[in-house]
Amino acid sequence: MLTKQRQVIERVLKRASRPLTRKEILKFGREELPKLGSATVDRSVNTMTKNFQLVGVSFPGQPTRYELPSGQEHPHFICHTCNQVYDLDIPMQLPRVKLPKGFYMTGGEVVYSGVCPKC
């Protein structure tokens, strides 16, 4: 049962090809699985994130969005008008940084912002 719901979440994210909030995952997921519940989505998203099947993308003042792990580092774009977050299909490499002592890095993110084509 849970497997089926995870498959729906995966399909929804694949189709969207941009990071989605839990609310959006629920909305699009229900188009496929009308009985999909919000607690189930929460549980699945948490488990999938823990298992590295999903990657959380967060921006200040915004709900966390989730996307499928991609083999490629890619920048995100956030629209100031509609707050939509897009994946930019541009291969890129994060600049290497030398962290101060005591810091341990597990990820990084490049975010551009501006106005999207829809706005």
Which amino acid, 17?
S
Q: How far is the CB of 83 from Zn ion (least distance, A)?
A: 7
Least CB distance from residue 56 to Zn ion, whole Å? Answer: 21
Residue 82 as a binder of Zn ion (CB under 5 A): the answer is yes
Whether 64 contacts 58, CB under 8 Å = yes
CA 53 to chain centre: 11
- Whose Cβ is closer to Zn ion: residue 8's or residue 85's? 85
Q: Among residues 55 and 116, whose Cβ is nearest to Zn ion? A: 116
Cα separation, 48 vs 9, in Å, equals 10
Output the smallest distance, CB 116 to Zn ion, in A: 3
Return the residue of 17, 64, 81, 113 that touches Zn ion, per CB under 5 A: 81
Location of structure tokens 């990657």: 55
C-alpha pair distances (Å), 64 with each of 16, 19, 22, 57: 16, 9, 8, 6
Q: Is 68 in the site for Zn ion (CB under 5 A)?
A: no
Q: Which residues bind Zn ion (CB under 5 A)?
A: 79, 81-82, 116, 118-119
